Amino acid sequence: MKNKFLNPIIGVVILLFLISCKVEPKPIEFGKDQCGFCSMSIVDKTHASQYVTTKGKQFKFDAIECMVNDLLEKNEEEIAIILVTDFENPGKMIDAKTASYLISEEIKSPMGANLSALQSAEKAAELQQIHSGDIYSWSNLKAKFLKK
């Protein structure tokens, strides 16, 4: 008799647990969400970034440099998804590990590193022709921030 009542309750608890632990990004609510590193409001749609842990916890950032600095203090094996905004498509998130990065004094980012992400190396080179600067891969970018 007890199992008749207990089984549905256990099923609901398991279902709620599975729903609450989805490992997927959530859209950034510009003007409402705060940076997980510096606590500033996230308003810039061209430089925002985020990551999701393997447990489904979301961390959102107002600038790519804030996320990179935060990740330097984390075990990257516990990170499932790392996303950056494609500079040419404000608000569109792309995979940080495959993106290319341009650091250019002519393109200001919220925290002053002048760091922008682009979908491909070709797009980064095109933007570099217009604004000058240096191009980085994800691994080179992390190495640069480690040296600071």
Q: Is residue 38 part of a domain?
A: yes
Q: Is residue 19 part of a domain?
A: no
CA dist 47 and 86 (Å) reads: 8
- In the prediction, which pLDDT does 17 show? 53
* pLDDT tens-digit map of 30-86: 999 999 999 999 999 999 999 999 999 999 999 999 999 999 999 989 999 999 999
Q: Is residue 13 part of a domain?
A: no
Count of domains forming the chain: 1
Q: Is residue 102 part of a domain?
A: yes
End-to-end CA distance of the chain: 65
CA dist 144 and 19 (Å) reads: 38
Q: Is residue 133 part of a domain?
A: yes
Tokens of 4: 């008749």
Name the percent of the chain lying above pLDDT 70: 85
Structural domain containing residue 53 = 24-147
pLDDT band at 23 (very low <50, low <70, confident <90, very high): confident
CB under 8 Å, gap of 24 or more: what pairs does 68-77 form? 68/141, 68/142, 68/145, 69/37, 69/145, 70/36, 70/37, 71/142, 72/142, 72/145, 72/146
Q: Is residue 57 part of a domain?
A: yes
